[in-house]
Amino acid sequence: MNEEALNMSLRKFLKVVGVTSQQEIEKAIRAADAAGKLKGKKSVAAQMVLTIGDVSLTHKVDGTIELE
């Protein structure tokens, strides 16, 4: 295995994950806000799950997204 290739590929993947995830979260939160679903909420719970079947990896991250 080429460690440099792995590192570069992983960084590229995570960059795409970060950018596209942020866009989707912002879009969903704006739509929920416009629909009145977030009235009175100062934050929303979030969960991200990463799976890579070929290496039997499932990694879950829980967090909170502040709205105010």
Asked whether 47 and 60 are in contact (CB, 8 A), the reply is yes
Q: Domain tally for the chain?
A: 1
Phi, psi dihedral angles at 2 (to 5 degrees): -90, 110
pLDDT score at 1: 93
For Cα atoms 57, 63, 68, give the angle at the middle one, nearest 5 degrees.
155
Q: Would you write out the chain's pLDDT as a tens digit for each of its 68 residues?
A: 999 999 999 999 999 999 999 999 999 999 999 999 999 999 999 999 999 999 999 999 999 999 99
Q: Which DSSP state fits 55? A: G
- State the residue range of the domain holding 44: 3-66
SS3 state at 40: coil
pLDDT of residue 52: 98
Place of tokens 């704006």: 30
